[in-house]
Amino acid sequence: MKKIVVVGSLNSDITVYASHFPAPGETMIGDKTCFGYGGKGSNQAIAAHRCGGDVRLISRVGSDMLGKDLLDYYKKEGISTEYIGISETAATGCAIIEVSAETGNNTIIVAKGANEELSAADVRAAEKEFEDCDIFLTQLETSMESIMEGKRLAQKYGKPIVFNPAPYAELPVEMFEGIDFITPNETECEYYTGIPVNSPEDASRAADKLMEMGVKNVIITLGKRGAYFKGELGEWLVPTTDLKPIDTTGAGDSFNGAFCVAYAEGMDIETAIKFANSVSSISVTRQGAATSIPTRKESEELLKSYYGIEI
């Protein structure tokens, strides 16, 4: 079992499903509301755990009912809570999610809350986990100092780094330097490179820009178009499956957590992307974020039936 260290967020999700997204100033009636568990760090950690990884999540929640509920959920899931701190001054992070019943696409507003209090000292307290981990994964829903400290420790011990640059934030140039894999979606890719990604050619140019910034390998997730890779071993577009989405919340997170496990287990990059596509594809056929993430067995079955790969 490969060890995945994650510096990332824990949020409580409030999801509203509706026929369409409201226009500015519009009040509309939604179809239904769901309450669940989320945060990009948490979703990615749970995906890695369900794919067979030994996960250590470094995060923070508030000392409120939502925080307690999240900790209870993690214990039931079987993921260590050793490095999940409790803030006495900030509320548990929260995400407000709108989902289109027609397309399954979403819009999300995140209030970081206690996630913003995660400090470099909190990450250093888990340094022993970096020493023997197999891969480090992080995103942008905690403080920048916590993210940079995680990157520093991973590089100190020579561990591969997967950086999901979401949600968009202004970043110091040194954040990109030495990143083994960066995994933006097409929107985030445009934010960081200034290049709209509407075709494989656009993706190639955007990837070149990211590599000029110091990244070794680029994986751009393209929704129903699949995932585009460019890096040290070449470039290719990996198509995704033909499963119909009903809720895309957490799709990218599922992809990232699954990719980390697959790559840490020694799968080649293309196979690791296909495995991650399989996990993500199943997740979008279900409602919710953490609740939609499939098991390893389900993901392997889709990998075999769609891509013809048996692992």
Torsion angles phi and psi, residue 38, rounded to 5: -160, -145
253 belongs to the catalytic site: yes
Q: Could you say which of 122, 242, 253, 268 is catalytic?
A: 253
What sign results for the dihedral spanned by CA atoms 311, 295, 58, 183? positive
Q: How far apart are the first and last CA of the chain?
A: 15
| Composition of the chain by helix, strand, coil, percent to 5 | 40, 25, 35
Cis amide bond preceding 22, omega within 30: no
| Other Cβ atoms closer than 10 A to 170 | 6
Sequence-distant (6+) residues with CB within 8 A of 17 are 30, 31, 32, 33, 34, 99, 101, 247, 287
For residue 14, give the amino acid letter: I
Count how many Cα atoms sit within 13 Å of the Cα of residue 236 in the half-sphere of its side chain. Answer: 11
Catalytic residues: 253
